[in-house]
């Protein structure tokens, strides 16, 4: 039978403990909102449909989806009253396309869940032809999670939520990780029978498990590849803990791919950064989103590479440099204290200590170009828009003012900088 997958992402929770005006799922980890981890996983599965269930923050979340996912067809539905995960799924029912055969439920606050684990969950579900497949994990401290109850033949009987545990099952270590996949028809048939007969008086999606077991329907489980994957964000402290784990995953990936990150504890690399082989990242380096670094570079210690920067091969960026929307050509050196913004540096450029671009005039960000082989003397200020030509030199302490371009091979110095040797503009 051909499967047509629908995905429901639950994100209606208030996130009170975040103590924030921003919806919980829009808080960022490693440069992108928590919710986008679930959305990106969902999109990678190429489903027939994605529905996002949100609460009172509907407008803010729709605005976000419209900007970051404008090309994707993601439907958003508001759960009117937050009365449990089963009710959240039901609130998406009217939006479900008739041709959907299977329904995957993901949470919007579990950014560590990997695509591989979700794919494995789906494969298990399809292979076993089950009505329901749960993602489970073994964790030492299972407090807060629903526990998986099994019979003697190891069939799953039901999920018992943490608050409803009894002395018999309090020590169970297998937890319900949250993500699960259903045969749509079967789920919609039984979900109406769920009653809020638990301590929280909520409609629990997990109660479906017991209902299917009683009907002798086939329930399977797949396990998460690491117990980290099931962690959710409920507070700011969870947010920073999970961000550390994600950052560590990114760094491990670079270490495997031939990049040295000499101090993982003090290095922060956003989720989409690209770095070439044999580049060394020294301690205390922060690299924002949308940064690309080439091969065989040395970055740091102590520097900040901001978004939109592209660094070619064999480049040195030394201590206390901040680079913002910088292009740096091959073999260029920016070795000590600098602020460089909106600048294109050619190949073999030497940027002396203390060089600063004055790229913002109070209204606009203006661009600077420094062509190949130029030598920018220590403490030069480049007031944009301005260009320093090929093999040109600026003297130490110069202020090269707006539009006063330095021609190729020329030498300029002073405040404001004057041409000492004229050179030749091409
Ligand atoms: C849920 C599971 C539990 C599992 C745990 C894993 C249920 C009843 N329990 O518990 O078995 O171990 O996740 O993290 O499902 N949500 C809504 N609307 C609601 C309630 C929740 O959209 O009315 C969303 C939340 O925003 C969140 C997700 O559903 O993304 C899970 O809800 P939450 O209340 O955090 O459930 P847990 O108590 O963690
Ligand atoms: Ca939770």
- What DSSP element (H or E) covers 323? strand 316-328
**pLDDT of the residue at 370:** 98
Give Dmax over CA atoms of the chain in angstroms. Answer: 91
Selection from 277, 275, 280 nearest residue 291 by Cα: 275
Cβ contacts of residue 408 below 8 Å, gap of 6+? Answer: 371, 389, 390, 391, 392, 423, 424, 425, 426
359 C-alpha to ligand 1 centroid (Å): 48
Q: Whose atoms come closest to the Cα of 109: which ligand?
A: 1
- What DSSP element (H or E) covers 36? helix 34-44
User: Among 111, 160, 178, which residue has the most ligand 1 atoms within 8 Å of its CB, making it the best to mutate?
Assistant: 178
pLDDT digits (tens, 9 = 90+) for 99-120: 999 999 999 999 999 999 999 9
CATH classification of 236-421 is 3.90.930.12, yes or no? Answer: no
Report how far apart, in Å, the C-alpha atoms of 372 and of each of 247, 332, 347 are: 35, 9, 5
Cβ contacts of residue 216 below 8 Å, gap of 6+? Answer: none
**pLDDT of the residue at 171:** 87
Q: Which atom of ligand 1 is nearest to the CA of 81?
A: 23
Residue 33 in contact with ligand 1 by CB distance below 6 A: no
Rg (CA), the chain: 28
Look up 27 and say whether it is catalytic.
no
Report the distance separating Cα 126 and Cα 310, nearest Å: 44
Report the distance separating Cα 216 and Cα 214, nearest Å: 5
85 C-alpha to ligand 1 centroid (Å): 6
Q: Which atom of ligand 1 is nearest to the CA of 88?
A: 18
**pLDDT of the residue at 422:** 82
The CATH number fitting domain 5-230, selected from 3.50.50.60, 3.40.710.10, 3.90.550.10, 3.40.50.970: 3.90.550.10
Inter-residue long-range contacts of 2-5, CB under 8 Å, 24+ positions, other chains counted: 2/101, 3/101, 3/102, 3/126, 4/48, 4/99, 4/100, 4/101, 4/102, 5/45, 5/47, 5/48, 5/100, 5/101, 5/102, 5/103, 5/104, 5/122
Residue 165 in contact with ligand 1 by CB distance below 6 A: no
68 C-alpha to ligand 1 centroid (Å): 25
232 C-alpha to ligand 2 centroid (Å): 6
Report the distance separating Cα 376 and Cα 370, nearest Å: 9
Cβ contacts of residue 8 below 8 Å, gap of 6+? Answer: 51, 52, 53, 88, 89, 92, 103, 104, 105, 106
CA within 13 Å, CB half, 333: 12
56 C-alpha to ligand 1 centroid (Å): 17
pTM for the predicted model, two decimal places? 0.93
Selection from 202, 220, 94 nearest residue 150 by Cα: 220
Residue 179 in contact with ligand 1 by CB distance below 6 A: no
Helix axes 34-44, 115-128, angle to 10 degrees: 40
Q: Which atom of ligand 1 is nearest to the CA of 24?
A: 26
Tokens 């019979």 -> residue: 151
pLDDT digits (tens, 9 = 90+) for 160-172: 999 999 998 888 9
Q: Write out the residue limits of the CATH 3.90.550.10 domain(s) in the chain.
A: 5-230
Residues of the chain with pLDDT under 70: 425-426
Cβ contacts of residue 366 below 8 Å, gap of 6+? Answer: 342, 359, 360, 384, 385, 402
Cite the beta strand spans of 95-253 per DSSP E: 102-107, 132-138, 147-150, 156-160, 174-183, 219-223
Structure tokens belonging to residue 286: 């922060």
Q: Write out the residue limits of the CATH 2.160.10.10 domain(s) in the chain.
A: 236-421
Residue 107 in contact with ligand 1 by CB distance below 6 A: yes
Tokens 């900088």 -> residue: 417
Report the distance separating Cα 238 and Cα 219, nearest Å: 31
Residue 203 in contact with ligand 1 by CB distance below 6 A: no
Residue 111 in contact with ligand 1 by CB distance below 6 A: no
The one catalytic residue among 27, 125, 336, 403:
336
Cis bond upstream, residue 66 (ω within 30): no
């Amino acid at each position: 039978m051909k499967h047509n997958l629908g995905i429901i992402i639950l994100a209606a929770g208030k996130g009170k403990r975040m103590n924030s005006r921003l919806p919980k799922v829009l808080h960022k980890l490693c440069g992108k909102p928590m919710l986008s981890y679930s959305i990106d996983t969902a999109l990678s599965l190429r489903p027939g449909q994605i529905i996002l269930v949100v609460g009172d923050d509907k407008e803010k979340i729709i605005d976000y989806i419209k900007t970051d996912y404008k090309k994707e067809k993601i439907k958003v539905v508001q759960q009117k009253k937050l009365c449990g995960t089963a009710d959240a799924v039901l609130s998406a029912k009217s939006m479900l396309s008739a041709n959907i055969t299977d329904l995957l439920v993901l949470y919007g606050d579990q950014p560590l869940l990997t695509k591989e684990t979700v794919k494995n969950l789906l494969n298990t579900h399809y292979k076993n032809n089950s009505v329901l497949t749960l993602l489970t994990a073994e964790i030492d401290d299972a407090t807060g999670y629903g526990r998986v109850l099994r019979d003697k033949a190891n069939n799953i009987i039901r999920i018992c939520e943490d608050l409803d545990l009894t002395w018999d099952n309090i020590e169970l270590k297998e937890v319900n990780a949250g993500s699960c996949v259903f045969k749509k028809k079967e789920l919609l048939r039984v979900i109406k029978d769920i009653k809020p007969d638990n301590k929280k008086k909520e409609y629990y999606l997990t109660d479906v498990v017991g209902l299917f077991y009683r009907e002798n329907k086939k329930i399977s489980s797949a396990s998460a590849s690491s117990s980290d994957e099931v962690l959710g964000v409920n507070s700011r402290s969870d947010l920073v803990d999970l961000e550390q784990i994600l950052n560590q995953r990114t760094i491990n990936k670079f270490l495997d791919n031939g990049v040295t990150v000499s101090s993982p504890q003090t290095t922060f690399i956003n989720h989409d950064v690209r770095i070439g082989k044999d580049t060394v990242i020294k301690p205390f380096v922060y690299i924002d989103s949308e940064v690309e670094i080439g091969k065989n570079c040395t970055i740091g210690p102590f520097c900040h590479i901001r978004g939109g920067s592209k660094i070619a091969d064999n480049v040195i960026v030394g201590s206390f440099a901040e680079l913002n929307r910088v292009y740096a050509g091959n073999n260029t050196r920016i070795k000590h204290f600098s602020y460089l913004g909106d600048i294109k540096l050619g190949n073999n450029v030497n940027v002396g200590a203390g060089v600063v671009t004055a790229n913002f005039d109070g209204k606009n960000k203006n661009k600077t170009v420094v062509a190949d082989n130029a030598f920018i003397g220590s403490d030069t200020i480049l007031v944009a828009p301005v260009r320093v030509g090929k093999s040109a030199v600026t003297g130490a302490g110069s202020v090269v003012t707006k539009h006063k371009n330095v021609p190729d091979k020329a030498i300029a110095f002073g405040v404001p900088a004057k041409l000492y040797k004229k050179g030749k503009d091409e």
